[in-house]
Chains A and B, each alone.
Chain A
Amino acid sequence: MRKAEFLMAALMGLFSIGLMWKSTELPIGWIPDEGPGGGAFPFWLAAGMLVCCLAILFRWFRGTSPFSRAKDIYMDGFAFKNFVLVAGALTVMIGLIHIVGVYVSVPLFLLYYLKFLGGHGWTVTASLAVGTPIVTFFFFEIALKITLPKGFTEPAFYPLYDIFL
């Protein structure tokens, strides 16, 4: 916990410095007769974030915040492994959406998440992995006429469009 608070505060401090640096691409001051420049709000808000991070770090060094004295572990090996597995799978799913489309990547993710991470039976997994894309297709594409990204699988849907639209 102790290490986690320090790391998070330091990382967020660096992030706010990055944001401040990024905001200076636009005027950060007050433009006469116009109002605040485009970068003013992000810059000064990020400056506020930085001040807060410094305050958190200061309290950490003095040991006054409850987390800076906590001895328990923030993330044990089990939690970290699972975090990587889930976050990685989510990233892969979102990346795949643009290549193979929603209707392939979502069932794959559900299969992985329900069966291999969640330990659910094949009945639950298969029904959800097959049912979700079908419901999604009819709800979004047919009922609401919202097309979802399909990647290179797009031509496979033309016959379906011909039938239902």
Chain B
Amino acid sequence: METLNLLMNGFAISFEPLNLAVVIAGVTVGLFIGAMPGLGSVNGVAILLPVTFLVPPTSAIIFLAAIYYGAMYGGAISSIMLGIPGASTAVATTFDGRPMALKGRADYALIAAAVASFIGGTISVILFTLFAPPLAEVALAFGPPEEFALMILAFATFIGLGTDDIAKTFFSIFIGLVMSAVGLDIVSGQPRLIFGDLPGFFHGVNFLVLAIGIYGIGEMLWVIESSKGKRLYPRPRFPLPAPLMR
């Protein structure tokens, strides 16, 4: 009961005009940050932290949460329109959203991503509100063995869902793991695979660098190769029609 009272109190605070304005501003900024490949929700929150000094603490938290949620959806925009995931969370959207955009149905893909993002976010927030205390215990029990099991599950899924060329799937997993081994060894603290003290390699290969290299530059080269200098995609129509109204 006390949780509900606190929740109602929270709703009352969040409907104050300043806080609503902050939500709109945060989501708008978050959309742009999320859509920029390389800047994800976490980076967005981190770089906009100084801005929150201008408003009261509660509004600041609301602002950060709004940026986070905006960036979560914003990642889908560049995944669908460019085929480059805007954030690491939006990588999966490139698999189906991108082909839809290539067929000229980017509007459907964007709306589907927005609706899915909204429903998923709402459900997770409700569940989190209800089950936060028991979940905290589960989270604390989630140690290295569980993480290891999760990784094994992920790799098994790659191999199960990959093409019939299992050797190539294995190769990709291995090369990814080798790249994650670049930098300082966690056990002994020795630098490894830094190729003659290349400055960037010391800190390891960043996920961001990898995403830009594989998706960004890869997409760029693919477009040039497959377009043969012609326009490949249908021009986007503005204003976008509202498929939900039809």
Most interface-central of B177, B178, B220 (chain A CB within 10 A): B178
The 0/1 profile, CB within 8 Å of A marked 1, for residues 135-174 of chain B is 0000000000000000000000000000001011011001
Most interface-central of A12, A56, A90 (chain B CB within 10 A): A56
User: Which of B185, B188, B224 interacts with A86 by CB under 8 Å?
Assistant: B224
- B171 and A117 form a contact (CB under 8 A): no
Cβ-based interface call for A133 (8 A): no
Query: With a CB–CB cut-off of 8 A, which chain B residues contact A52?
Result: 167-168, 170-171, 174
Binding site for A on B (CB under 8 A): 47, 165, 167-168, 170-171, 174-175, 177-178, 181-182, 185, 187-188, 190, 192-193, 195, 217, 220-221, 224-225, 228-229
Query: With a CB–CB cut-off of 8 A, which chain A residues contact B167?
Result: 52-53, 55-56, 59
Query: With a CB–CB cut-off of 8 A, which chain B residues contact A159?
Result: none
User: Which of B171, B181, B185, B229 interacts with A53 by CB under 8 Å?
Assistant: B171
Query: With a CB–CB cut-off of 8 A, which chain B residues contact A88?
Result: none
Query: With a CB–CB cut-off of 8 A, which chain A residues contact B188?
Result: 26, 31, 34, 37-38
Contact (A49, B225) CB under 8 Å given A23-B193, A42-B192? no
CA distance A59 to B174 in the complex (A): 19
- B165 and A65 form a contact (CB under 8 A): yes
**Nearest chain A residue, comparing its CB with the CB of B47:** A144
User: Which of A34, A37, A42, A86 interacts with B178 by CB under 8 Å?
Assistant: A42
Query: With a CB–CB cut-off of 8 A, which chain A residues contact B187?
Result: 34-36, 38
Binding site for B on A (CB under 8 A): 12, 19, 22-23, 25-26, 31, 34-39, 41-42, 45-46, 48-49, 52-53, 55-56, 59, 65-66, 75, 78-79, 82-83, 86-87, 90, 117, 119, 144
CB distance from A14 to the nearest CB of B (A): 13
Query: With a CB–CB cut-off of 8 A, which chain B residues contact A87?
Result: 221
Contact (A45, B181) CB under 8 Å given A52-B170, A56-B167, A59-B167? yes
**Nearest chain B residue, comparing its CB with the CB of A27:** B188
Known: A34-B187, A53-B171, A55-B167. 20 other contacts (CB 8 A): A22-B193, A22-B195, A23-B192, A23-B193, A34-B188, A36-B187, A37-B188, A38-B185, A38-B192, A42-B182, A46-B178, A48-B170, A49-B174, A56-B167, A75-B225, A79-B225, A83-B225, A86-B221, A90-B217, A117-B224
Query: With a CB–CB cut-off of 8 A, which chain A residues contact B225?
Result: 75, 79, 82-83
CB distance from B30 to the nearest CB of A (A): 15
Query: With a CB–CB cut-off of 8 A, which chain A residues contact B168?
Result: 52, 56
12 contacts between A and B (CB under 8 A): A19-B193, A22-B193, A22-B195, A39-B192, A41-B181, A45-B174, A52-B168, A52-B171, A55-B167, A56-B168, A82-B221, A83-B225
